[in-house]
Amino acid sequence: MTTPLEHKDAIREVIDRFAALEVDVSEQAKLFTPDAHVVVYAADGSVMMEFDGADTLVERFGAAMAGVKTAYHINGQQVITVDGGTATDVHYGKALLVQEVDGKDVLTDHSIRYTDTLVLRDGKWLISRREQHFVISETRAL
């Protein structure tokens, strides 16, 4: 029998794996249910992107990451609540992305709050809903 701590550890692994994959969107999509719902919010609270499905995630996030030369992601504090075969994960992260703009490298620094709903399917935790809030975003030349 799986303990609550083992479930939380498995969920942490999903969240950390997403960050460690950085711009490998095809592999990141495997951490979501096929029908996952994703909403991305700008710092002002407006919806930047909303869609359903892991395939659409590959398309949308893949396009957004296409010009990224270098990426660095790190996760911070995290609160996980498990309720049977579903869980809620709230965590904070940083995403640093380097792109070339007009022949010069530009760094975009995002401070992000994620609220994820995960489901246990065939013994594996997957993200079924993600709310991604860009709390602070800054762009500067390197």
CATH number of the domain encompassing residue 66:
3.10.450.50
Give the whole-angstrom CA distance, residue 27 versus residue 13: 14
Quote the domain boundaries for residue 48: 4-141
Pair 120, 8: CB distance under 8 Å: no
Q: How far is 53 from 129, CA to CA, in rounded Å?
A: 10
Q: Specify whether the CB–CB gap between 22 and 72 falls below 8 A.
A: yes
Q: Specify the pTM.
A: 0.94
* Domain total in the chain: 1
The backbone torsions φ and ψ at residue 85, rounded to the nearest 5 degrees and listed phi first, read -95, 10
Quote the tokens at residue 40. 């991305």
pLDDT of the chain, 142 residues: tens digit per residue: 789 999 999 999 999 999 999 999 999 999 999 999 999 999 999 999 999 999 999 999 998 889 999 999 999 999 999 999 999 999 999 999 999 999 999 999 999 999 999 999 999 999 999 999 999 999 999 9
